């Protein structure tokens, strides 16, 4: 059953069309949004030689057989003009290599893949603690908090993909919420925080291979809400904002702190988010400019040899 939400197009509040077009007027039902992987694409993967498969994984943007049937274009449409996410169910009977190939072909139809962490980055708990060292939360088993991917000023993926190869024994559920709905809420209930959230806000520097010092943090500043050429954009992970202010010896501006608190309060309301468990063979794509994602903390089963494993890719339209 869909939950009623504010209809920003017909309500009393005047909302800019660049925000309104991304709002969920009803909370999506993730089961209704899920689709089965197309048999034609699966068949095309079965026909690829080992050499071609390796090229697909190693240099996907140069993949010669990039064209696949046009139905895949609907995936990109859903990300740009629909709910902002799509869940594709491939089933768990395929081999890891086959699932990775299906995932790669879908990803390439959405856009160009980024290799900042590798074109396909395995998200596995490495026993690290992001609260004690500047490491991506993807390398831990902690709950991530609602966020958008990439804390780097110089790079923002338009879309994020996740392939589930192995779910956790317990936990690890996916959660999604909508930053356009958040903006409407703040405009209604906390309008005084928005000017501060549209200013440049410093973030901690966590990208491997980059310099992490006070000067680099000061340089790594950009707004939480912005309207670049690509349209309405929300960039958020509260933890890395707070550590940036701590490392530079600054206090969070009062209105920014109120904005962060109001944001987290909105995200924590169950009526504003959807939660589901990805199973082996599931592929999730989200629009990283207005869909925020999160995961619950998870535990692996020590009796099995397979820990929770997702495969992430960053895509630009």
Alpha-carbon distance of 43 to 47, in angstroms, equals: 7
Owning domain of residue 117:
17-316
Residue-level pLDDT at 71: 54
pLDDT (tens digit, 9 = 90+) per residue, 278-313?
999 999 999 999 999 999 888 887 777 688 899 999
Kindly state whether residue 10 falls inside one of the protein's structural domains.
no
Kindly state whether residue 181 falls inside one of the protein's structural domains.
yes
Kindly state whether residue 1 falls inside one of the protein's structural domains.
no
Query: How does DSSP assign 11-39, residue by residue?
Result: SSS---HHHHTT--SB---HHHHEEEPPH
Kindly state whether residue 2 falls inside one of the protein's structural domains.
no
Helix, strand, coil shares of the chain, percent, nearest 5, are: 35, 20, 45
Alpha-carbon distance of 277 to 72, in angstroms, equals: 23
What pTM did the predictor assign? 0.89
Alpha-carbon distance of 101 to 41, in angstroms, equals: 10
Residue 110 three-state SS: helix
pLDDT (tens digit, 9 = 90+) per residue, 17-34?
889 999 998 999 988 889
pLDDT higher than 70, residue 138: no
pLDDT higher than 60, residue 263: yes
pLDDT higher than 50, residue 10: no
Question: Which pLDDT band, with edges at 50, 70 and 90, does 134 fall under?
Answer: low
Kindly state whether residue 197 falls inside one of the protein's structural domains.
yes
Kindly state whether residue 77 falls inside one of the protein's structural domains.
yes
Give the CATH number of the domain where residue 70 resides. Answer: 3.60.130.10
pLDDT higher than 60, residue 64: no
pLDDT (tens digit, 9 = 90+) per residue, 269-282?
999 999 999 999 99
Kindly state whether residue 8 falls inside one of the protein's structural domains.
no
Alpha-carbon distance of 178 to 112, in angstroms, equals: 24
Kindly state whether residue 296 falls inside one of the protein's structural domains.
yes
Number of structural domains found in the chain: 1
């Amino acid at each position: 059953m869909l939950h009623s939400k504010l209809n920003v197009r017909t309500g009393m509040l005047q909302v800019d069309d660049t925000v309104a077009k991304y709002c969920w007027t009803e909370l999506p039902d993730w089961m209704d949004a899920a689709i089965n992987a197309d048999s034609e694409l699966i068949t095309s993967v079965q026909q690829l030689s080992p050499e071609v498969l390796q090229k697909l994984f190693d240099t996907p943007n140069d993949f010669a057989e990039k064209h696949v049937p046009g139905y895949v274009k609907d995936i990109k449409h859903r990300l740009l003009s629909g709910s902002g996410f799509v869940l594709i169910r491939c089933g768990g009977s395929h081999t890891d290599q086959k699932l990775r190939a299906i995932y790669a072909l879908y990803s390439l139809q959405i856009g160009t893949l980024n290799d900042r962490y590798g074109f396909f980055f395995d998200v596995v708990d490495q026993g690290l603690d992001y609260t004690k060292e500047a490491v991506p939360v993807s390398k831990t088993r902690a709950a991530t908090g609602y966020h958008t991917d990439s804390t780097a000023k110089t790079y923002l993926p338009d879309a994020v993909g996740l392939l589930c190869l192995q779910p956790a024994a317990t936990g690890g559920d996916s959660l999604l919420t909508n930053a356009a709905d958040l903006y409407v809420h703040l405009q209604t209930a906390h309008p005084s925080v928005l000017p501060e959230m549209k200013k440049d806000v410093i973030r901690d520097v966590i990208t491997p291979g980059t310099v992490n010092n006070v000067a680099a943090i000061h340089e790594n500043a950009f707004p939480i809400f912005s309207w670049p050429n690509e349209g309405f954009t929300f960039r958020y992970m509260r933890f890395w904002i707070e550590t940036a202010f701590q490392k530079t010896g600054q206090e969070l501006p009062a209105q920014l702190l109120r904005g962060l608190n109001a944001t987290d309060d909105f995200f924590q309301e169950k009526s504003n988010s959807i939660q589901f468990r990805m199973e082996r063979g599931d592929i999730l794509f989200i629009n990283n400019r207005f869909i925020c994602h999160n995961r619950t903390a998870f535990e692996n089963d020590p009796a099995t040899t397979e820990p929770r494993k997702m495969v992430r890719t960053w895509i630009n339209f």
